[in-house]
Structure 1
Amino acid sequence: MKKAAIAILLVLLLTGCWDRLPLKTLHIVDIAGIDQDKENGDIVLNYVVTKLKNVGQGSGEPSPKITVLKGHSLVEAVEQGQYTEQGPFFGMHTGIYFISKSFASDDPVQELTFILKAPYTASNSPVVIINGNMSKLLKSKIGTNKEFTRGLSDFVLSIEKNGIAPEVTLMKLILSRKEPLEDMALPLLKPSNSSMELDGALLFRQGTYTGKELDKDQVQMLMLMLEKYSGNKRYTGNMSRKDEDKKSDYGFSVKKLNSKIITHPESGELPKVSIGVRMRIYVFKFGESVQPFKPEYVNRMEKELGKHLEEDAAATIKTLQKANCDVLGIGQQLKAYHPNIWKSMNWRKDFPEMSIEPNFDVQILNSEE
């Protein structure tokens, strides 16, 4: 009996925690929007915190609130949060780090690095970029759509999950500074009606913006070459055809995709690289033709579509080389599987000059036998 009483007493005494935080005083950040004041260079931090009003059983009305904090650095701006009536703020569940193009262009990693060691912060959340004034954008979107925060979070997760855009977390961006071969493309969003849409991607080399970017179609091509796709994703576009004066629309979904980087050594010269992409697709539109997908017609479609995709892929690769940004991971492949070739190269000098050729092998599955 005495042992039981002691055990109960210990449970009561040990349930507390020295750094515990009352739930009622917590302000969990949904979006951390980071911008840079163009006039004085100060950092502008926009915290979006959503709470529920009119809470009932299993329901409630979302009520997002924006708090704007400023400082000469991001650390200083974060610190201001403890002096406001809306604070303190805790980012352990931060859904998205929303950074402006101006902030991303001015050594963002230097400002962001402290987050890896800061308490109550989330470093494994995705990072996306917008072009424009962060405060005005958030105020406008949230003012007209109370579900904006949730919708934006769902949208960002969906484009990454479905292979529409690269997935880049805050931790990955910060750690890339010390990784010589860790280049990346950060998704760029733009306003669209009451929400946002993908507008392309900014190219980063070791955590630094290269000044170059991919458009939306090039991002799609990049994801195909990276073997990132989803069966739910539909690919559409238009292309020139030999038998038609105007461009023809096409549309397909991918059933199976394989991509492989192949290195061809060249004596006394830089190695040549080919990127082989094998696609098994279902076509739902191809030009204005209404004829059935007979084998001879399908064979011609496969060759024309493959050539068109190769041209788009070559243009995308050219942009990557101009930016000296190896998002495709060619350098990593060379270092791992061709160490002798790698040792003979000056990677950052040689990458923009290399011959990199895409080869697309397209097979249409819904042909009529």
Structure 2
Amino acid sequence: MKRRLFLCMLIASLLLLSGCWDRIEIQDRLLVMAVAIDKNQPDAEKKRNYYEFTAQLTEARALSSQQSSSNIAPVWNVTTTAPSIFESIRLLATRVARPPYFDHLQVIIIGEDVATDGIDDALDLFYRDHESRPKIKLVIAKGKAKDALKVQPKLLAVSGQYISKLTEEGETKTARQPRVTTIGQFASHYHGGLHCVLPAIHLHRHEVKMAGGAIMKHDKLAGWLSDSEVKALRWIKGTFNAGDEVIAKEGGDDQEKVMTFEVRGAKASVETGIRDGKPVIALRIRGEGSLAEDGFNHHPTLALWKKREEEFSRTIKKSVEKLIARMQKEQIDIFGFGEEMRRHQYPYWKKYKEEWDELFQRADVQVDVKIYIRRIGQFS
């Protein structure tokens, strides 16, 4: 009797369950894969700048390369113009018949004009919105950001996905671009009073090039780093874990020859001090890898091996010192030296932290580089 009563109550409780009343099938969702933010001023008399917001929309079937019809494009770049990012997103409803979902947003591309004025306001909604993830990648475009979404990559149907993968591949295969930066990491840097370098994207017709970096002084674009300068930055930060260094010089036959050092790992340490009221920073860089190419001698001796290590050490030290000198002249500490002063010289930092940009310009930075060649390859 009790068992029968329990079953009746269990069946009756099923009537109270609401079920998935608001369920939307994955094939019906309109996914936002990438966002581009540019500046637009429709009326010259208005002092307030308007955002030109471009969302790249796609469906799940496009990501799996399964198109329901050849007449349907895999992606749709929709642009709206409004004084705020929130209103720009709401205006998508006037052009798109289905609500966009930002859960799968992979990358935000900021145009050069917006970056020059400051990007924190443009990112504010993405910091706060529950659909946005703090791991969304952040990239600065050389020129218009929306043009990056117009490229037609050869192997991927969705350009936003292509750009997102480029940032990941570039970090693991080469050091010619900064490490991947997310909106969460940028927010921590900016609100912590630190400067940083963001990945830069250069536009071409059917592809984009991820190389070099955008120098961000607080949240404003202050200049650009070349890909070789980014390599020096990666040495300074100890994040040069994949890539190469090349030395080119004339050989015995008056033709230019090259040596290539394949980097397998790097470490950097910083020691700070105070001398005569000025910051003293001792930077120690250690790297190791393989001799990938040697255009001068195919049968190296131990003495020649050590000579190659010294040559690469001098070359890297020169590039590092050159970048530090440039940033000191521009008074932009992109290396985190100020943070090291805060950690290890706190009384001094507390007294002069508001003047750090000027103090950084006069800081005595000492660089010590040592490269170790672990392998030279096989010879018959």
So what's the TM-score if we normalise by structure 2?
0.83
Q: Which of residues 124, 137, 148 is equivalent to 2:159? A: 148
Contact 1:29–1:93 (CA<8 Å) still a contact in 2? Answer: yes
Amino acid at match of 2:183: L
User: What SS is found at the alignment partner of 1:76?
Assistant: helix
Moved more, 350-359 or 141-150: 141-150
- Is the counterpart of residue 49 in structure 1 residue 57 in structure 2? yes
Distance (whole Å) between structure 1 residues aligned to residue 6 and residue 211 of structure 2: 67
Distance (whole Å) between structure 1 residues aligned to residue 97 and residue 188 of structure 2: 32
- Is the counterpart of residue 206 in structure 1 residue 215 in structure 2? no
Distance (whole Å) between structure 2 residues aligned to residue 244 and residue 5 of structure 1: 97
1:168 deviation in Å?
A: 1.4
1:95 deviation in Å?
A: 0.8
Contact 2:286–2:369 (CA<8 Å) still a contact in 1? Answer: yes
- Structure with higher Rg: it is 2
Distance (whole Å) between structure 2 residues aligned to residue 329 and residue 78 of structure 1: 36
The CA deviation string for residues 101-141 of structure 1, in whole angstroms up to 9 with x for no partner, is 11111121012212222242233211011112333442343
User: What SS is found at the alignment partner of 1:154?
Assistant: helix
Within 5 Å, give how 1:128-143 maps onto structure 2: 128-141=139-152
Amino acid at match of 2:209: E
- Is the counterpart of residue 60 in structure 1 residue 69 in structure 2? no
Moved more, 38-47 or 275-284: 38-47
Contact 2:292–2:376 (CA<8 Å) still a contact in 1? Answer: no
Distance (whole Å) between structure 2 residues aligned to residue 351 and residue 175 of structure 1: 21
Contact 2:200–2:214 (CA<8 Å) still a contact in 1? Answer: yes
User: What SS is found at the alignment partner of 1:28?
Assistant: strand
The CA deviation string for residues 135-160 of structure 1, in whole angstroms up to 9 with x for no partner, is 34423437996243332221112223
The CA deviation string for residues 15-64 of structure 1, in whole angstroms up to 9 with x for no partner, is 54687656455322101111112665421111112225599xx7614811
Query: 5+ residue gaps in structure 1?
Result: none
Query: Which residue in the other structure is 1:254 paired with?
Result: 263
- Is the counterpart of residue 28 in structure 1 residue 31 in structure 2? yes
Task: Go from structure 1 to structure 2 and tell me whether the alpha carbon gap of 1:271 and 1:361 turns closer, same or farther (over 3 Å shift).
Answer: same
Distance (whole Å) between structure 2 residues aligned to residue 187 and residue 295 of structure 1: 40
Query: Which residue in the other structure is 2:46 paired with?
Result: none
- Is the counterpart of residue 359 in structure 1 residue 368 in structure 2? yes
Task: Go from structure 1 to structure 2 and tell me whether the alpha carbon gap of 1:241 and 1:350 turns closer, same or farther (over 3 Å shift).
Answer: farther
Amino acid at match of 1:31: A
Distance (whole Å) between structure 1 residues aligned to residue 283 and residue 62 of structure 2: 56
1:274 deviation in Å?
A: 1.9
Query: Which residue in the other structure is 1:92 paired with?
Result: 103
1:347 deviation in Å?
A: 1.6
Moved more, 337-346 or 237-246: 237-246
Query: Which residue in the other structure is 2:290 paired with?
Result: 282
Distance (whole Å) between structure 1 residues aligned to residue 116 and residue 200 of structure 2: 13
Distance (whole Å) between structure 1 residues aligned to residue 126 and residue 279 of structure 2: 40
1:228 deviation in Å?
A: 1.2
Distance (whole Å) between structure 2 residues aligned to residue 310 and residue 75 of structure 1: 47
User: What SS is found at the alignment partner of 1:172?
Assistant: helix
1:361 deviation in Å?
A: 0.4
Within 5 Å, give how 1:318-337 maps onto structure 2: 318-337=325-344
Amino acid at match of 1:351: F
1:199 deviation in Å?
A: 3.0
Contact 1:241–1:304 (CA<8 Å) still a contact in 2? Answer: no
Task: Go from structure 1 to structure 2 and tell me whether the alpha carbon gap of 1:175 and 1:332 turns closer, same or farther (over 3 Å shift).
Answer: closer
Task: Go from structure 1 to structure 2 and tell me whether the alpha carbon gap of 1:199 and 1:161 turns closer, same or farther (over 3 Å shift).
Answer: closer
Amino acid at match of 1:364: I
Moved more, 36-45 or 164-173: 36-45
Task: Go from structure 1 to structure 2 and tell me whether the alpha carbon gap of 1:144 and 1:264 turns closer, same or farther (over 3 Å shift).
Answer: closer
Query: Which residue in the other structure is 1:176 paired with?
Result: 189
Kindly, what percent of the aligned residue pairs are identical?
Answer: 15
Contact 2:31–2:102 (CA<8 Å) still a contact in 1? Answer: yes
Distance (whole Å) between structure 2 residues aligned to residue 367 and residue 121 of structure 1: 48
1:198 deviation in Å?
A: 1.9
Task: Go from structure 1 to structure 2 and tell me whether the alpha carbon gap of 1:120 and 1:147 turns closer, same or farther (over 3 Å shift).
Answer: closer
So what's the TM-score if we normalise by structure 1?
0.86
Distance (whole Å) between structure 1 residues aligned to residue 344 and residue 11 of structure 2: 62
Task: Go from structure 1 to structure 2 and tell me whether the alpha carbon gap of 1:250 and 1:256 turns closer, same or farther (over 3 Å shift).
Answer: same
Contact 2:36–2:53 (CA<8 Å) still a contact in 1? Answer: yes
Moved more, 219-228 or 139-148: 139-148
User: What SS is found at the alignment partner of 2:214?
Assistant: strand
Within 5 Å, give how 1:103-142 maps onto structure 2: 103-141=114-152
Within 5 Å, give how 1:243-322 maps onto structure 2: 248-266=257-275, 268-286=276-294, 288-322=295-329
Distance (whole Å) between structure 2 residues aligned to residue 103 and residue 54 of structure 1: 30
Moved more, 289-298 or 334-343: 334-343
RMSD value, Cα: 3.1
Amino acid at match of 1:152: I
Query: 5+ residue gaps in structure 2?
Result: 44-48, 68-72
Contact 2:338–2:356 (CA<8 Å) still a contact in 1? Answer: yes
1:358 deviation in Å?
A: 2.2
